[in-house]
């Protein structure tokens, strides 16, 4: 079995950090979950992460802030945003700024699978 | 010798004779007379006249001169006839006897050296004059005027002592040589008669004097001693009388001086000078104040008419002289205003002249000259400030009025006439004003008038006018009621045409409404987003866990333990979602109010005051029935006022399309059973059907085309937080009533705030939304 791709999750919501890793594991990915953007940046996972599942609204550093920081560090990690705020205006903006996909919570496993596929293909 | 009312009018000599007075030759017609065809002598008439004179001389020599005048009048068929005699001082002629039209002038006379008589005596020949007043203007006052005057010298003992004359006042009668002959003949007779009379008189005087002297001598001789005694006593008495008279005189002099001082003072204070003019002597006298008004050093200049005329403004001089001369000629009073031109200053004066006869019967004028410069200036200032006011009213589109309630007399400024487009000359009536009022405002105005009549009050209205051309005007009316000394009610007020301002205000209000609507919608959007975020988080967990669970169960072999774990987490997330919902409910339902003691009447009055502009704009008639004994309630004053405002606005909205009946609105407070206080807002609007009922209070339910459906549901939430009740009921007639009832005593603190459970952003959003609603 090939080395499983690492998907990192950054979300302040605990239920997401609990539920999403199990599903991703079932889908065949390695998973690391972080409660904040700052915790992710402090970890050693940045270089190994194949795809980042990133919440938008968080205390402290927001999702797009982390995206900018990674761009500054020349870390071209594909990003799939996950958000509980259903804002139609936000989505095109995020996609334009380079996000692979933007999923509105709650999302189905199929939608997640497709987003990850497209992110990894890009890679 | 008397020289009373007559012609001697010397005063006019300096003043009235124009520089270009007629020459003597130009008024003489003597040569023409000699050339005229003579009428036939009437010897019979002449003889009978002479016979009458002889008879008169015998019977009543004292009246011989009058008889002579009568006969001259008769024989010459003249209009006036008479005899002028030189006075003993040779300075004047006096008219000793006159018959005919000039009879009333008897006793008058002319100067020796300036008149027809003088001319005749100078030349010692008969003369015929025509219109002698052209040369001797004072004769212009002797009416009727003389068309022709025939004069012959009157000689006594070869010396001229006067003239005999006949006058024709009518142009039809022309004297001729026959008339001259008759006059001369009668003159000769008169001369003889005069001498005779004079001799008889002299003789009489001589005899009387002798008789008197003799009788005195007799008395003297008879009672010399007694006379000496009597004379001594008499003398003593006279001395006493003299002393008394002196004292009296001194007293009178003192009083006179005092009253003169008063008069001078009064004249100075009132700026009124006085003058006196004797027509007989031509003397003129000025009071000190008059001299001051005329700009003369009071004592240095002696009063005279030329000096006076010289002071009159050149443009007024001719007019004043004409009016004055005409008045003096006709012996009438006059009254004239004119200007004085003094060095460096123009004065306005008001002058009056009053004709009268002095105690001695002399004709005279007494007059006054008032300096009215100040008054003229004040009048001018008043005119100017009135013009300013009218201009200011025009510019600010503000008219002013006064209204006497008892008589309905209305006085309006010109600008008010213009605003109401009223005919300026017609008197303004209440009906004329009412005719301009917009039909929809009529009941408002009538109510206003009714209130205003009841008692003096101040009021402010914004009536709408419908002009004859169909255009609409918006006005702002302010009036102040006062009662005068007699208790009569009068209103004084102003009316401003605020049409322009009103139109822009309307546009602004619409923009505000639109903005408020947008902000309400956007606030609601923010709240919805917050709620969605809170709910979506646990939902997301549920969906993810369920997906994982399915996958674990579908694996080969199935991961039952993992599936059980994820199912447990699914249940937990479901509970979390439910908890979020219940937290939101508690936010709306159980938020504890900031409690304070609130006077619901006062809170209501504030809301009405805030809404007064809208009430007027919507032409609603508001009646407030606020209970006097209302106990305070415990609650959040601002929130309760939001509810009242909401109820008021709903009521107005419900009446906005009502045009067939008054938009009657009642706000009532009263005690309710069980220590509660009730507030009711009752409208005459469109009301609601029975099927609507409770749905009114559901969120997002609305009967309005442009409403949000939030107001009543929020209002009910607020009232319920005050442990009260809010309900609606249709009226018996049109419209509906919405009421709430809340306890008037402090509560037990139930429904404490549990906001801490809900995340801060949601709470903040929710509160903001609540406020904006």
User: In this complex, which of B536, B555, B565 lies closest to A105 when CB atoms are compared?
Assistant: B536
Residues of A in contact with B562 (CB under 8 A): 22
pLDDT given at position A41? 93
Give kind and range of the element (H or E) at residue A8: strand A6-10
Is the Cβ pair A109, B551 closer than 8 Å?
Answer: yes
Nearest Cα to Cα of residue B419 among B475, B479, B471: B475
Is the Cβ pair A15, B543 closer than 8 Å?
Answer: no
Paired tokens of B74: 């008769």
> CB–CB of B186/B164 below 8 Å?
yes
Whose structure tokens read 């410069």? B373
d(CA A22, nearest CA chain B) in Å: 6
> CB–CB of A63/A55 below 8 Å?
yes
Residue of B nearest to A11 (CA): B537
B422 alpha carbon, distance to own chain's centre: 21
Is the Cβ pair B539, A106 closer than 8 Å?
Answer: yes
**Sequence-distant (≥ 6) Cβ neighbours of residue B151 within 8 angstroms:** B116, B117, B120, B126, B127, B128, B129, B163, B164, B165
- Measured between its terminal Cα atoms, the distance across chain B in Å is 116
**Longest CA pairwise span in chain A (Å):** 42
pLDDT given at position B773? 47
CA–CA separation, B582 and B319 (whole Å):
106
Paired tokens of A111: 């939608």
Residues in chain A with pLDDT < 50? Answer: 1, 123
> CB–CB of B78/B107 below 8 Å?
no
For chain A, positions 18-57, list CB contacts with chain B under 8 A: 18-20, 22-23, 26-27, 57
Tell me: ipTM over 0.85. Answer: no
Nearest Cα to Cα of residue B280 among B1, B4, B95, B93: B4
> CB–CB of B82/B102 below 8 Å?
yes
d(CA A72, nearest CA chain B) in Å: 30
Give kind and range of the element (H or E) at residue B150: strand B148-156
Is the Cβ pair A107, B541 closer than 8 Å?
Answer: no
User: Based on C-alpha coordinates, what's the Rg of chain B?
Assistant: 57
- Measured between its terminal Cα atoms, the distance across chain A in Å is 20
Query: Model pTM?
Result: 0.32
**Sequence-distant (≥ 6) Cβ neighbours of residue B119 within 8 angstroms:** B24, B127
Is the Cβ pair B541, A13 closer than 8 Å?
Answer: yes
Q: Which of A16, A20, A23 to mutate to test the interface with B (most CBs of B within 10 A)?
A: A23
CA–CA separation, B578 and B568 (whole Å):
16
User: What is the SS3 assignment for B91?
Assistant: coil
Count the alpha carbons within 13 Å of B44 in the hemisphere toward its beta carbon: 0
Buried b (16+ CB within 10 A) or exposed e, B506-542: eeeeeeeeeeeeeeeeebbebbebbbbbbbbbbbbbb
User: Based on C-alpha coordinates, what's the Rg of chain A?
Assistant: 13
Backbone dihedral angles phi then psi of residue B552, each to the nearest 5 degrees: -65, -40
Q: Which residues of B touch A (CB under 8 A)?
A: 529, 532-534, 536-545, 547-548, 551-552, 555, 562, 565-566, 569, 572-573, 576
User: In this complex, which of A26, A87, A106 lies closest to B540 when CB atoms are compared?
Assistant: A106
CA–CA separation, B97 and B107 (whole Å):
8
Backbone dihedral angles phi then psi of residue A46, each to the nearest 5 degrees: -55, -50
Q: Is the dihedral of CA B575, B578, B584, B588 positive or negative?
A: negative
Q: How many CB pairs under 8 A join A and B?
A: 79
Residues B22, B24, B29: CA angle, nearest 5 degrees: 105
Residue B427 region by backbone torsions, left for phi larger than 0, else alpha for psi between -120 and 50, else beta: beta
pLDDT given at position B429? 85
User: What is the SS3 assignment for B36?
Assistant: coil
Paired tokens of B477: 């009316």
Between strands A79-83 and A49-55, the pairing is: parallel
Is the Cβ pair A26, B548 closer than 8 Å?
Answer: yes
Backbone dihedral angles phi then psi of residue B627, each to the nearest 5 degrees: -65, 140
Q: What is the dihedral of CA B137, B142, B147, B149, to 10 degrees?
A: -90
Residues in chain B with pLDDT < 50? Answer: 1-17, 589-593, 699-700, 705-709, 746-761, 773
User: What is the SS3 assignment for B501?
Assistant: helix
DSSP track, B390-457: HHHHHHHTEEEEEEETTTTEEEE-HHHHHHHT--SSSPB-HHHHHTTB-GGGHHHHHHHHHHHHHS--
Whose structure tokens read 């979506």? B536
CA distances from B267 to B71, B295, B474, B710 (A): 55, 15, 57, 86
Please state, as a whole number, how many other Cβ atoms lie within 10 Å of the Cβ of residue B462.
18
User: In this complex, which of A20, A26, A106 lies closest to B536 when CB atoms are compared?
Assistant: A106
pLDDT given at position B110? 86
> CB–CB of A113/A94 below 8 Å?
no
pLDDT given at position B12? 37
Buried b (16+ CB within 10 A) or exposed e, A57-83: ebeebebbebbeebeeeeeebbbbbbb
Q: What is the dihedral of CA B386, B388, B391, B392, to 10 degrees?
A: -110
> CB–CB of B724/B740 below 8 Å?
yes
Whose structure tokens read 């504890």? B592
Residue of A nearest to B539 (CA): A106
Is the Cβ pair B544, A19 closer than 8 Å?
Answer: yes
CA–CA separation, A76 and A79 (whole Å):
9
Paired tokens of A8: 């990192």
């Amino acid at each position: 079995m090939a080395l499983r791709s690492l998907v990192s999750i950054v979300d302040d919501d605990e239920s997401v950090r609990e539920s999403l890793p199990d599903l991703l594991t079932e889908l065949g990915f390695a998973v690391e979950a972080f409660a904040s953007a700052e915790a992710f940046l402090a970890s050693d996972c940045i270089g190994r992460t194949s795809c980042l599942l990133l919440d938008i609204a968080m205390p402290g550093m927001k999702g797009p802030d982390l995206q900018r920081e990674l761009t500054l560090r020349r870390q071209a990690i594909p990003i799939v945003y996950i958000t509980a705020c259903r804002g139609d205006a936000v989505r095109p903006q995020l996609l334009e700024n380079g996000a692979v996909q933007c999923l509105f919570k709650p999302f189905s496993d199929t939608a997640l699978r497709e987003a990850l596929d497209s992110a990894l293909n890009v890679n | 010798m008397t020289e009373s009312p007559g012609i001697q009018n010397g005063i006019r000599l300096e003043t009235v004779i124009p520089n270009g007075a007629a020459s003597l030759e130009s008024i003489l017609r003597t040569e023409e007379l000699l050339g005229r065809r003579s009428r036939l002598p009437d010897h019979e008439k002449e003889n009978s006249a002479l016979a009458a004179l002889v008879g008169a001389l015998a019977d009543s020599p004292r009246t011989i001169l009058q008889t002579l005048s009568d006969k001259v009048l008769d024989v010459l068929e003249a209009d006036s006839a008479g005899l002028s005699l030189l006075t003993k001082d040779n300075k004047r002629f006096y008219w000793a006897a006159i018959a005919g039209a000039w009879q009333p002038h008897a006793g008058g006379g002319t100067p020796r050296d300036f008149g027809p008589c003088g001319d005749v005596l100078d030349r010692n020949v008969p003369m015929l004059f025509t219109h002698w007043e052209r040369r001797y203007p004072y004769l212009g006052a002797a009416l009727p005027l003389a068309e022709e005057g025939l004069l012959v010298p009157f000689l006594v003992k070869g010396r001229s002592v006067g003239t005999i004359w006949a006058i024709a006042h009518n142009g039809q009668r022309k004297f001729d040589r026959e008339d001259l002959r008759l006059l001369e003949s009668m003159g000769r007779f008169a001369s003889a008669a005069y001498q005779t009379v004079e001799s008889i008189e002299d003789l009489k005087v001589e005899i009387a004097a002798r008789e008197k002297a003799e009788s005195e001598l007799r008395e003297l001789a008879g009672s010399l001693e007694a006379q000496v005694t009597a004379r001594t006593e008499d003398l003593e008495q006279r001395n006493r009388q003299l002393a008394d008279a002196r004292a009296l005189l001194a007293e009178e002099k003192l009083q006179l001086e005092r009253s003169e001082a008063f008069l001078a003072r009064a004249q100075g204070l009132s700026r009124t000078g006085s003058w006196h003019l004797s027509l007989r002597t031509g003397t003129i006298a000025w009071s000190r104040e008059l001299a001051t008004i005329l700009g003369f050093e009071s004592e240095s200049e002696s009063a005279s008419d030329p000096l006076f005329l010289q002071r009159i403004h050149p443009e007024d001089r001719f007019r004043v002289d004409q009016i004055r001369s005409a008045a003096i000629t006709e012996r009438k009073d006059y009254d004239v205003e004119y200007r004085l031109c003094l060095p460096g200053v123009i004065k306005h004066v008001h002058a009056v002249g009053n004709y009268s006869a002095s105690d001695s019967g002399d004709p005279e004028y007494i007059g006054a000259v008032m300096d009215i410069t100040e008054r003229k200036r004040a009048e001018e200032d008043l005119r100017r400030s009135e013009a300013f006011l009218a201009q200011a009213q025009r510019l600010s589109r503000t008219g002013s009025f006064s209204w006497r309630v008892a008589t309905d007399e209305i006085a309006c400024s010109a600008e008010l006439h213009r605003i109401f487009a009223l005919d300026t000359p017609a008197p303004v009536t209440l009906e004329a004003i009412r005719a301009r009022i917009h039909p929809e405002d009529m009941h408002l105005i009538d109510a206003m008038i009714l209130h205003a009549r009841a008692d003096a009050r101040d009021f402010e209205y914004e009536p709408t006018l419908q002009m004859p051309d169909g255009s609409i005007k918006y006005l702002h009316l302010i009036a102040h009621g006062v009662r005068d000394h007699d208790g009569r009610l009068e209103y004084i007020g102003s009316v401003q045409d605020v049409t322009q301002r009103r139109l822009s205000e309307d546009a602004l209000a619409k923009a505000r409404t639109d903005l408020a609507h947008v902000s309400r919608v956007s606030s609601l959007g923010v709240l919805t987003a917050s709620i969605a975020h809170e709910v979506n988080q646990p939902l997301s967990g549920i969906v993810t866990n369920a997906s994982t669970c399915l996958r674990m169960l579908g694996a080969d072999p199935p991961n039952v333990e993992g599936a059980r774990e994820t199912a447990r987490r699914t249940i937990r997330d479901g509970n979390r979602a439910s908890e979020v919902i219940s937290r939101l409910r508690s936010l709306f339902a159980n938020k504890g109010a900031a409690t304070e003691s609130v006077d619901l009447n006062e809170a209501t009055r504030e809301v009405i005051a805030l809404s007064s502009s809208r009430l007027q704009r919507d032409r609603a008639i508001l009646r407030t029935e606020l209970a006097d004994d209302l106990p305070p309630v415990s609650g959040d004053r601002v929130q309760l006022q939001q509810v009242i405002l909401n109820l008021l606005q709903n009521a107005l909205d419900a009446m906005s399309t009502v045009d067939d009946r008054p938009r009657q609105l009642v706000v009532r407070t009263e005690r309710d059973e069980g220590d509660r206080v009730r507030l009711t807002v009752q409208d005459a609007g469109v009301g609601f059907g029975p099927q609507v009922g409770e749905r009114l209070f559901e969120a997002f339910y609305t009967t309005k085309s442009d409403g949000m459906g939030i107001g009543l549901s929020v209002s009910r939430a607020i009232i319920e937080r005050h442990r009260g009740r809010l309900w609606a009921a249709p009226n018996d007639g049109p419209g509906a009533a919405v009421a709430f009832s809340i306890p008037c005593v402090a509560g037990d603190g139930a429904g404490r705030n549990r906001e801490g459970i809900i995340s801060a952003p949601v709470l903040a959003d929710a509160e903001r939304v609540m406020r904006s609603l």
